[in-house]
Each structure stands twice: as C-alpha cells, then as structure tokens.
Structure 1
Amino acid sequence: MTNYRNFEEINRDLKRLNLERQIALEELKGLKHDVKEDFSTPNWLGTIASFAKKYGLLYLLRRIFR
C-alpha cells in the first residue's frame, strides 16, 4: 500500500493508472481484431487445404508403396 503525502501524488497516480487502463483496452481491441481475423473463413479454408494436401500426398505414397 502506498502512502501519499499530498493530493498531487494521488492525482498523478490516478492519471497514470487511467492511461495504463486505456492502453490495456486498446491492446484488447487489437487482440479482438486478430482473433476475428484468425477465425475468418478464408484462413480456415487455407489451413484445411494445406492439411489435405499434406496428408493426401502421404496417403497416396503409402498406397503406391504397399
């Protein structure tokens, strides 16, 4: 717990904490946008396509060399 000597110190800390809160909120907004972008349909389709390509090729190679 901080001991304050005057109201000026209290106000300074309140302003600093308010700025830190605003920065944290802006960071959350950015993270929200990133998550939205990560879960968008084109990203999922690209991931599924690369997965299918990779494991489809492995499946074909296994079938050929058996």
Structure 2
Amino acid sequence: MKRKPYTSLKEIKLELQTLNLQRKIQMEELKLTRHQFKEDLRPMNWISTLLKGVKKYGVLMLLKKIIK
C-alpha cells in the first residue's frame, strides 16, 4: 500500500474518520451476512427448498405421463 503524503493534521484526522466509517460499514455488512447465513441454515428453509424441488419434479412427471 502506498503511503499518502499529508500536509496537515486535519487531513490525517479526516483520513482516520473515513477509515473508521469504512470499518464500521464493513462490520455492519458482516453482521448482515452472518444473520442471512443463520437464516439459510434454519430447517424450515431446507424444507421449503426441498418441497419446491419435489413440486417441480412432480409436475415434470405428470407432464411426462400426459404426453405419453
């Protein structure tokens, strides 16, 4: 990472504030990702995904029987 030449203490403080805000934003995004991951691992989500797959398979089998 290339160092940026600062000409005043104000620039340094501004850069630190910017980096601090970026860090906070990334932490909130990480929390959101963690929450979404927890939701994806819930058994009800697995069951609904399984039911959707079974429903699609059932419709395909029904169409196959109708076409024959």
TM over 0.5: yes
| Structure 2 Cα separation of the partners of residues 65 and 24 of structure 1 | 54
Per the normalisation by structure 2, the TM-score is 0.79
In structure 2, the partner of 1:43 is 45
Per the normalisation by structure 1, the TM-score is 0.80
Deviation at 1:9, TM superposition (A): 1.3
Unpaired runs of 5+ in structure 2?
none
- Report runs of 4+ in structure 1 exceeding 6 Å deviation: none
In structure 2, the partner of 1:4 is 6
Unpaired runs of 5+ in structure 1?
none
In structure 2, the partner of 1:22 is 24
Q: Percent identity between the aligned chains?
A: 42
| Structure 2 Cα separation of the partners of residues 46 and 17 of structure 1 | 41
Q: In the alignment, which of 26, 31, 34 is matched to residue 33 of structure 2? A: 31
